[in-house]
Amino acid sequence: MSAHSTHAYTGEAPKVWPAKVNQIPKEVFGDAALFEEELKKIFYGDTWHAVGHAAEVPNIGDFKTFDLGRVPLLIARGKDNQVRVFFNSCTHRGNQLETSVSGNRKEFECPYHRWLFSLDGTLAACPGSKEFAPDFKQENFGLAEIKTEQFLGLIMVTMGNPPPLKEWIGESGLPTLTALLGGDGRLKLLGYQKVRYASNWKGYNDNDGYHAPLLHTGFRLLNWQGGKGFQRMTENGHVIFEAELKPATGNGFLKDPSLIAFKGSNPERGSVITQLFPMTVMTKHMDVINLRFAIARSHEVTEVHYAYFAHEDDSEELVQHRIRQSSNLLGPCGMVSMEDAAIFQRIHIGNQTPGFAEFQKGVTSLTEIPMDVKQNDETGNLPRWEHYRKVMGFKREGEQ
């Protein structure tokens, strides 16, 4: 097969994946039927998904709602200070229990027939229960919980049977994620930026180590160079990225260079990213702590809740600095991230064409999935694509 041969665009998932490891069939970005398969195999499959951080619900009775694919979730802190993740569905006839995005409640009441649930999910009251079915037992009708594990407050859920969370993240990723979560996960919520991108979730998730100095003119104008660092991948599709932070001078371009000052204490880990399969991106860049909770809405819509945090031990001054830096730097309107958002949408449009997305920077072999990748290579994404291919069950050309 020549580099220019194509799979004709059929609107169906490719039956065969190209033999060359650096080619991704563009068909996978525009296929509504494939999205249904991805929901089953990935979003409801044997994978952990980040849905929040405990710091988003700091007080007893605090809750937030979120979705895993199309499954509505209710995350609540109980009287025992435990954060639980329920299906946001009344155990009677399935009515959506909580309609608010967030808030604080003493209990959750379903308005339909007034079943009442405690913060820990227990069914506390259900009017007319004397006439319920003969096998009805109130204690069996507490809110159903989705399987949950936490890492330093990061709340991960799954509908399948993945390995235990730490094992699934991998030993090699835990120190970076720990640093990202402030060392101990004692975070304080600063707020959100929420946005929908007209992009397939895999396009949203395919940003690379190659683009940064090229796409983002701001880095050059501000004389903002990346320090030494590494990119590390796991077989199950995670990418861990760390780089030293070199202070940016601003180069006289900014009237207010204080915005890009670094006031934290660990420049050797100044820029840190943990990207967990399938689509959770978390970053600590300068003094910004940003967890991006993403929802694959459809094959062409990806919703991202950028949640920003301070650390509980921060001085007032550092919190204030984090607020202004976080607001202006890395979100859907951020100084060095608006362009990424534009690319998510442009790459989605461009990918509705025949042929392959061609990875080049850092490719040393056409047959081996690269696991040794340099900081500014785009090959760090290939192990994730390989994991995706396997989970989805696509055979490589020539494979039996």
Partner 1 sequence: MSQAITAAHTSAIDALHTAYVAALDQGDMAAWAATFAVADETSYFCISAENDRRGLPLALMYDDCRGRIDDRVSFVTKVWVGTYQPYRTRHFIQRLSCESAGNNQYRVTSGFMIMMTPEGGATTILTSGEYRDLIEIQGEGDNARAVFRERRTVYDADVLPRYIVFPF
List the Cα angle 194/199/201 in 5-degree steps.
85
Compare residues 20 and 305 and give the one whose CB is closer to partner 1.
305
Q: Looking at 65, 89, 193, 280, which residue binds partner 1 (CB under 8 A)?
A: 193
Q: Which of 340, 377, 378, 386 binds Fe ion (CB under 5 A)?
A: 340
Burial (Cβ within 10 Å: 0-12, 13-18, ≥19) of residue 253 = middle
Give the DSSP per-residue string, 262-284.
--SS-GGGSEEEEEETTTEEEEE
Nearer Cβ to Fe ion, position 89 or 207?
A: 207
Instruction: Decide whether 217 or 352 has the Cβ nearer to partner 1.
Output: 217
In whole angstroms, what is the distance from residue 20 CA to residue 396 CA?
Answer: 9
Helix (H, G, I), strand (E, B) or coil at 67: strand
115 binds, options ligand FES, partner 1, Fe ion, none, Cβ within 5 to 8 A by partner type: ligand FES
Q: Which two tokens stand for residue 2?
A: 């020549």
92 lines the binding site for ligand FES (CB under 6 A):
yes
State which of residues 39, 71, 174, 195 lies at the interface with partner 1 (CB under 8 A). 195
For residues 108 to 127, the per-residue mask of contacts with ligand FES, x marking binding by CB under 6 A and - elsewhere, is --x-xx-x------------
Among 70, 93, 166, 228, binds ligand FES (CB under 6 A): 93
Closest residue by beta carbon to Fe ion: 340
For residues 6-35, which are near partner 1 according to CB under 8 A? none
Strands 16-17 and 395-396: parallel
Q: Does 190 bind partner 1 (CB under 8 A)?
A: yes
Task: Compare residues 287 and 340 and give the one whose CB is closer to Fe ion.
Answer: 340
CB of 89 within 8 A of CB of 97? yes
Contact 232, 170 (CB under 8 A): no
Using CA atoms, how far apart are residues 153 and 83, in angstroms rounded to an integer?
A: 9
Q: Does 95 bind ligand FES (CB under 6 A)?
A: yes
Amino acid in position 100: S
Contacted by 254, from partner 1, Fe ion, ligand FES, none: CB < 5 to 8 Å by type = partner 1
Partner in contact with 195, chosen from ligand FES, Fe ion, partner 1, none, beta carbon below 5 to 8 Å by kind? partner 1
For residue 107, which amino acid is it? E
Which of the choices ligand FES, Fe ion, partner 1, none does residue 90 contact, using the CB cut-off of 5 to 8 A by kind? ligand FES
- Closest by CA to 129, choosing from 110, 147, 115, 145, is 115
Give the integer Cα–Cα distance in Å for 188 and 310.
5
Binding mask 329-368 for partner 1 (x = CB under 8 A): --xxx-x--xx-xxxxxx----------------------
Which DSSP category does 113 fall into? Answer: T
Residue pair 146/157 in contact by the 8 Å Cβ criterion: yes
- Record the tokens describing residue 180, joined without a space: 């990202």
Distance CA 70, CA 303 (A): 12
Q: Work out how close the CB of 111 gets to ligand FES at its nearest, in angstroms, rounded to a whole number.
A: 8
In this complex, which beta carbon is closest to ligand FES, that of residue 112 or of residue 136?
Answer: 112
For residue 93, the partner it binds in partner 1, Fe ion, ligand FES, none, with Cβ less than 5 to 8 A by kind, is ligand FES
Q: Which parts of this chain interact with partner 1 (CB under 8 A)?
A: 101-102, 189-198, 215, 217-218, 221, 253-256, 259, 303, 308, 323-324, 326-328, 331-333, 335, 338-339, 341-346
